[in-house]
Amino acid sequence: MAPTRRKTRRVGQPFSRCCRLKSNVWASPPQSGTDSMKRSYKILLVIVGIWLFAMIATLPELTAVWPERKVVRQTFSGYADALVNQKFEEAYGYHSPEFQERITLASFVQYQHDVQAKFGVLKAVQQEGMAVRKWRNPSRWRASVKADFQYEKAKVRFNFELHRENGRWTIFSSSGEEK
């Protein structure tokens, strides 16, 4: 009987290839379907963990935003009602001091009359979307409101930017486009 040759590792040959025993102790086990499922499950757990951590980290900011949303909605609703009821001076009062420094009450009223001459009388305002954000400093709040203004002849989508200054929400700017 001839002596059995012992496998030795050659230079450049992978260790796992040359030193494999009959029992495959050093060889990597074959990948089965359950192992890949375990890996997918672990990846999913990591993603859920990261998401959960992010939600917990932003929870204080999210809880602070909810009361502000109500105040923004009330402010915008008051502004829209004033415009629908042709109370332009009252609507002008909802604008920020910066806006009022740049645009006089007479200019604001003239603009409202020009818009109504083009599209007809404003019949209704429907708020379509709102986003409230707190900037780095707690006193720096901003909100964006999208609303559809329904005139007699057309519907116009307006975007409003509101700021909270000295505890009061005011309309900082607006832009519109006909739908």
pTM of the model: 0.64
Q: Which amino acid is at 79?
A: Y
In this prediction, residue 81 carries a pLDDT of 97
**Does a structural domain hold residue 46?**
no
Q: How far apart are CA 94 and CA 131, in angstroms?
A: 18
In this prediction, residue 130 carries a pLDDT of 92
**Does a structural domain hold residue 90?**
yes
**Does a structural domain hold residue 49?**
no
In this prediction, residue 67 carries a pLDDT of 79
**Does a structural domain hold residue 135?**
yes
Q: Read off the tokens for 111.
A: 């603009």
By residue range, what is the domain housing residue 91? 67-178
**Does a structural domain hold residue 138?**
yes
**Does a structural domain hold residue 128?**
yes
Write phi, then psi, for 152 (nearest 5 degrees): -60, -40
In this prediction, residue 15 carries a pLDDT of 53
CATH number, domain of 144, equals: 3.10.450.100
67: left (phi over 0), alpha (psi -120 to 50) or beta: alpha
- What is the mean pLDDT, run by run of 10 residues, along the chain of 179 residues? 58 54 51 69 88 72 71 95 97 95 95 95 94 74 93 95 89 84
Q: How far apart are CA 55 and CA 150, in angstroms?
A: 38
**Does a structural domain hold residue 45?**
no
Cα 24 to chain centroid distance, Å, stands at 54
**Does a structural domain hold residue 73?**
yes
Q: How many helices (H) and strands (E) does the chain have?
A: 5, 4
